[in-house]
Chains A and B, each alone.
Chain A
Amino acid sequence: NAGVTQTPKFRILKIGQSMTLQCTQDMNHNYMYWYRQDPGMGLKLIYYSVGAGITDKGEVPNGYNVSRSTTEDFPLRLELAAPSQTSVYFCASMTVTIFRDYNEQFFGPGTRLTVL
Chain B
Amino acid sequence: QKEVEQNSGPLSVPEGAIASLNCTYSDRGSQSFFWYRQYSGKSPELIMFIYSNGDKEDGRFTAQLNKASQYVSLLIRDSQPSDSATYLCAVFPDSWGKLQFGAGTQVVVTP
Partner of B103, one of A41, A56, A59: A41
- Does any Cβ of A come within 8 Å of B49's Cβ? yes
- Does any Cβ of B come within 8 Å of A84's Cβ? no
- Does any Cβ of B come within 8 Å of A70's Cβ? no
Known interface pairs A100-B32, A103-B49; A90-B44 also in contact (CB < 8 Å): yes
Q: Which residue of B lies closest to A51 (CB)?
A: B97
A interface majority secondary structure = strand
* Alpha-carbon separation in the docked complex, A82 to B4 (Å): 28
The residues of A that contact B102 with a CB separation of less than 8 Å are 42
* Alpha-carbon separation in the docked complex, A99 to B101 (Å): 21
Partner of B104, one of A33, A42, A58, A108: A42
Known interface pairs A100-B51, A107-B45, A110-B43; A33-B96 also in contact (CB < 8 Å): no
- Does any Cβ of B come within 8 Å of A78's Cβ? no
Given contacts A50-B96, A107-B43, 16 further A-B contacts (CB under 8 A): A31-B99, A41-B104, A42-B6, A42-B102, A42-B103, A42-B104, A43-B88, A45-B98, A48-B99, A58-B100, A94-B99, A96-B92, A100-B31, A107-B44, A107-B45, A109-B43
